Each structure stands twice: as structure tokens, then as C-alpha cells.
Chains A and B, each alone.
Chain A
Amino acid sequence: AQSVTQLGSHVSVSEGALVLLRCNYSSSVPPYLFWYVQYPNQGLQLLLKYTSAATLVKGINGFEAEFKKSETSFHLTKPSAHMSDAAEYFCAVSGTTGANSKLTFGKGITLSVRP
């Protein structure tokens, strides 16, 4: 079975500081990996995804993530935090076939940005 671990439930950074949100996965084969963001009272929005092409994936709003098979990680980073980045972030994993496309999510991390 596939799973995702997001350590810590809350990260707080100052505006302009580096954002690093950690995600580790467990899977018997290299999976597809996703980062979603959820703003208050809104649906989940895809930030970026890894589907076995380039290991460094660039997403929307200046976010990027690097797939590291040796570390089973897919950490999300942004060089400079903005107040509008405050939200809840979810890492998710899926299989790589059409029959195994459901997403398995981590518990999520709440990002706060201090002025």
C-alpha cells in the first residue's frame, strides 16, 4: 500500500523567507507525487506534480519540488514566502497506471506567514 508522511502540522515563516514543507512517501514502486494547496473555504488546487519526467518539478506561484528516490522524498520549496501563501498544503501519492489513480494524501501542513 502507498502512503505519505508529512512531519509536523504547522510551519511558520517570515515574509520573504524560504518555505520548506517536507513530504516522504512509501511505495513498492516509484509512484506519481502531487502537492495540493487548500485555501480557507476553497477546494484543493494542484500546485505541481511528478510523473516520472524531470525530477525537479516547477509549479504555480513560484513553488517547486524535487523527487529524490534514494530518500523517498518530495519536499516542497519556495525561495521567498508571500503573505498570500498562507494555506494548508497536502502531499499526495498515486499509482502509475490508470487502474491505480486514486490519490492517497498526507495529513497536511498549515503554513503561516508572518509580516
Chain B
Amino acid sequence: DTGVSQNPRHKITKRGQNVTFRCDPISEHNRLYWYRQTLGQGPEFLTYFQNEAQLEKSRLLSDRFSAERPKGSFSTLEIQRTEQGDSAMYLCASSWGTSGGETQYFGPGTRLLVL
């Protein structure tokens, strides 16, 4: 078990470009979460999946953001028409369970800088 992995680790893009991040959860974990962390703040919830179903989206997630988890395995987070305010660390976490209180295991994050 290699833990949660995220790619790329760093991304620099120009305003207006589209970017896509990938998260590979711990194998057989049924839940996958995306969070965003800005400097000096704690992570903020964006969205989560149980298997392939996207069960909740934060109001922080504008229409420019879309996430998928095809076949309930890896997940992608796409940001269209990036803005400077999108600059942040994007964290992925996975867990096993359905009753609540499960430990979420975090990946190292993808740091996005929008110029």
C-alpha cells in the first residue's frame, strides 16, 4: 500500500488556462475527498465521492470546477478558465467506510500557481 498519490505535485499556469489534477486513492477505499488549502488556512472541503457517485459539492466549487471518479478508482479535478484566486494547494484524501468517523488519509497535494 503506497498511500494516496497526487499528480502533478506542482502546476504553474496562466490565467484563463484549464488545468487537471489527478488523485489515486488507497486501493479499495470507497470514499474520495477533495479539499483546497490556501496559505495560513486550514483545508476547505470541495467535494467527495462514494465509489463513482459524487455525493456532495461545496458552494466553494464554482461552475468552473468539475470532478470525476470513473469506475470508483482514481479521481480528476479540472479547473476551467483559471483565475489568480484559484492559486492554492489542492488536497485529496481517501477513506473506507460508510458510517462516518472513518480516518481520511491525505495525499501530498498539488500546488497550483496561476499567473
Query: Interface of A with B (CB < 8 Å)?
Result: 4, 9, 32, 36, 41-46, 49, 51, 90, 92, 94-108
A1 CA to B106 CA, complexed, in Å: 24
Query: Interface of B with A (CB < 8 Å)?
Result: 3-4, 31, 33, 35, 40-45, 48, 55-56, 91, 93, 95, 97-109
Contact call A105/B99, Cβ cutoff below 8 A = no
| Interface of B (DSSP majority class) | loop
Chain B residues positioned under 8 Å from A95 (CB to CB): 100
Contact call A103/B43, Cβ cutoff below 8 A = yes
Contact call A106/B108, Cβ cutoff below 8 A = no
- Say which residue of A44, A51, A96 sits within 8 Å of B106 (CB atoms): A44
A3 CB to closest chain B CB, in angstroms?
Answer: 11
Contact call A94/B101, Cβ cutoff below 8 A = yes
B4 CB to closest chain A CB, in angstroms?
Answer: 7
Known A-B contacts A92-B42, A105-B42, A107-B42; the reply to A41 vs B100 at CB < 8 A is no
A56 CB to closest chain B CB, in angstroms?
Answer: 17
Contact call B108/A41, Cβ cutoff below 8 A = yes
